[in-house]
């Protein structure tokens, strides 16, 4: 029997539902983004996010089922993000999933959001020879993990303060650019060039796979303030170039270090920041030198979406992983 899974994602500012057949075939992917609402605040406002999810969730699920050209009754399971994320936002998706699970009498499968970003890769790529490295860089997370198998994803490094996307967003805001800041900085960096301006990467001890980006944010703010106080103009394009260079270098350095130390020659990437073309280019260039193969999901599956949750739920379901009606939301927690 075919597995037809509804994947629901509401952990941050995207209300998304998708129908995925047998873990690979995407029958629909509906994403309702709240970006325009949060733009005016310069970042995601949790309470506003929960209310918007509540308003959208039923319509988004109905549309995903309609676009998949199936009936609700054809669904065999529901995958839902239950952590990490904004509690109020997660609860909207979980509650909708529970309602459907009861009415259709099908299992509900809790999916860790970062697992989802990793599994977005399985929609397009055949990846079976574990272990594989996994890099997740998004607005809320920056983690490097060893993907041992479907039941064991071992996090070996994570950010000690801001996530990479958060750094892009905060710095962009300081530069007067729109939210989300990552795509804005990438856009401006394309018109910038390498100057003497270099922002240092945090050194966290030899062999550490952790990240730290809050110092970068302070350095950029200090630089802007200093330039302004001395009556100089700032060139946003060149600052964007230097910021992107610093964040990308920090991330690429840790991936290469892990690949070398663990002898792993494949890496999957995921999360909003991996839509950054320069990051992919740098990883591929460095990977080429050592034989590390880089796998990325296509653009729409890099940022938050229901497909990645449906895909991850498919593999968890194969191992009998299920939730129940006591399923709860958690704001944090390692990949399960
Ligand atoms: O994965 P995602 O959609 O949501 C979270 O789980 O956080 O990631 C959103 C983050 C934002 O911080 C955004 O600025 C960043 O991804 N982002 C980018 C790019 N596109 C999105 N960062 C750098 N370059 C991009 N092109
Ligand atoms: Zn995400």
- Compute the distance between CA of residue 304 and CA of residue 90 in angstroms, rounded to an integer: 13
- Ligand 1 atom nearest residue 303's Cα: 3
For residue 50, what is the domain's CATH number?
Answer: 3.30.420.40
Tell whether ligand 1 has an atom less than 6 A from the beta carbon of residue 165: yes
Residues 52 and 85 in one domain: yes
Per-residue pLDDT reduced to its tens digit, 32-77: 999 888 888 888 899 999 999 999 999 999 999 999 999 999 999 9
Q: Ligand 1 pocket test: which of 12, 38, 168 has the largest number of ligand atoms within 8 Å of its C-beta?
A: 168
Place of tokens 């494949």: 266
Residue with CA nearest ligand 1 atom 11: 139
Cα 157 to Cα 159: distance, rounded to the nearest angstrom: 7
Cβ of 306 below 6 Å from ligand 1? no
Q: Are residues 167 and 108 in the same domain?
A: no
Is residue 264 domain-shared with residue 170, that is, in the same domain? yes
What are the tokens at 235?
A: 């060139």
Strand order in the sheet with 293-295: 152-158, 142-149, 132-137, 266-270, 293-295
Looking at the structure of the chain, the number of domains it has is: 2
CA–CA separation, 294 and 273 (whole Å) = 15
Q: Please say if the pLDDT value at position 205 is more than 90.
A: no
Are 312 and 165 in a shared domain?
Answer: no
Sheet-wide strand order for 25-33: 25-33, 14-21, 4-9, 77-83, 108-112
Instruction: Determine, yes or no, domain membership for 324.
Output: no
Q: Is the dihedral of CA 139, 93, 127, 129 positive or negative?
A: positive
Q: Rounded mean pLDDT of the chain?
A: 95
Enclosing domain of residue 134: 128-296
pLDDT of residue 105: 98
One domain for residues 40 and 78 = yes
Same domain, 290 and 306: no
- Bridge-based pairing of strands 25-33 and 14-21 is antiparallel
**Over 90: is that where the pLDDT of 194 sits?**
no
Atom number of ligand 1 nearest to Cα 166: 12
Q: Are strands 77-83 and 4-9 parallel, antiparallel or unpaired?
A: parallel
pLDDT at residue 335 is higher than 90: no
Q: What is the pLDDT of residue 188?
A: 98
Residue 146 lies in a domain: yes
The answer to whether residues 26 and 307 touch, using CB atoms and an 8 Å cutoff, is yes
Cβ–ligand 1 distance for 139 under 6 Å, the answer yes
Residue 225 lies in a domain: yes
- The reply to whether 133 and 115 lie within a common domain is no
Q: Is the pLDDT of residue 202 over 90?
A: no
Residue 264 has pLDDT above 90, yes or no: yes
- Model confidence band, residue 195 (pLDDT cutoffs 50, 70, 90): confident
Is 193 found in the same domain as 250? yes
Q: Using a 6 Å cutoff on CB, does residue 271 contact ligand 1?
A: yes
Contact between 264 and 147 (Cβ < 8 Å): no
159 and 92, same domain (yes or no)? no
How remote is the CA of residue 139 from the centroid of ligand 2, in Å? 7
Q: Which of 83, 89, 121, 165 to mutate to test the pocket of ligand 1 (most atoms within 8 A of CB)?
A: 165
Whether omega before 131 lies within 30 degrees of 0, making that bond cis, reads yes
- Please check whether residue 213 lies inside any domain of the structure: yes
The distance from CA 159 to its chain's CA centroid, rounded to whole angstroms, is 14
pLDDT band at 143 (very low <50, low <70, confident <90, very high): very high
183 lines ligand 1 (CB under 6 A): yes
Residue 20 lies in a domain: yes
Q: Are strands 266-270 and 132-137 parallel, antiparallel or unpaired?
A: parallel
DSSP 191: T
CA of 180 to the centre of ligand 1 (A): 7
Nearest C-alpha to atom 3 of ligand 1 is from which residue? 303
Average pLDDT over residues 17-31: 97
Q: Is residue 209 included in any domain, yes or no? A: yes
Q: Say if 332 falls within a structural domain.
A: no
Q: Which ligand 1 atom lies nearest to the CA of residue 302?
A: 1
The token pair at 116 is 């989802």
Alpha-carbon radius of gyration of the chain: 20
Count Cβ atoms within 10 A of the Cβ of residue 250 and give its class: 0-12 exposed, 13-18 middle, 19 or more buried. buried
Q: 175 and 31 in one domain?
A: no
Does one domain contain both 142 and 275? yes
Q: Ligand 2 mean position to 191 CA, how many Å? A: 28
**Each residue's pLDDT tens digit, 145-163:** 999 999 999 999 999 999 9
């Amino acid at each position: 029997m075919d597995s037809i899974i509804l994947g629901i994602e509401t952990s941050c500012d995207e209300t998304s539902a998708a129908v995925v057949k047998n873990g690979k075939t995407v029958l629909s992917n509906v994403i309702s983004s709240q970006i325009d609402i949060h733009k005016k605040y310069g970042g995601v406002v949790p309470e506003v996010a929960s209310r918007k999810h509540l308003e959208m969730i039923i319509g988004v699920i109905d549309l995903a089922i309609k676009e998949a050209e199936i009936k609700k009754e054809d669904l065999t399971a529901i995958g839902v993000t239950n952590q990490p994320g904004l509690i109020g936002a997660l609860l909207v998706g979980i509650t909708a999933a529970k309602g459907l699970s009861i009415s259709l009498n099908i299992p509900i499968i809790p999916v860790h959001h970062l697992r989802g970003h990793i599994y977005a890769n399985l929609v397009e790529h055949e990846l079976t020879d574990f272990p594989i490295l996994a890099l997740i860089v998004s607005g809320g997370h920056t983690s490097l993990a060893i993907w041992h198998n479907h039941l064991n994803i071992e996090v070996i490094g994570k950010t000690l303060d801001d996530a990479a996307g958060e750094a892009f967003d905060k710095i962009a805001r300081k530069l007067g650019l729109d939210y989300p800041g990552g795509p804005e900085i990438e856009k401006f960096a394309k018109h910038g060039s390498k100057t003497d301006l270099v922002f240092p990467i945090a050194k966290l001890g030899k062999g550490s796979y952790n990240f730290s980006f809050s110092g970068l944010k302070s350095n950029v703010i200090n630089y802007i303030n200093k330039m302004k106080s001395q009556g100089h103009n700032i060139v946003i394009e060149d600052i964007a170039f230097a910021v992107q260079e610093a964040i990308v270098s920090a991330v690429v350095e840790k991936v290469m270090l892990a690949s070398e130390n663990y002898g792993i020659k494949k890496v999957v990437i995921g999360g909003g920041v991996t839509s950054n073309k320069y990051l992919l280019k740098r990883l591929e260039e460095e990977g080429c030198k050592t034989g590390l193969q880089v796998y990325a999901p296509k653009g729409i599956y890099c940022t938050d979406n229901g497909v990645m949750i449906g895909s991850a739920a498919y593999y968890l379901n194969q191992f009998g992983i299920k939730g129940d009606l006591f399923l709860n939301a958690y704001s944090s927690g390692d990949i399960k």
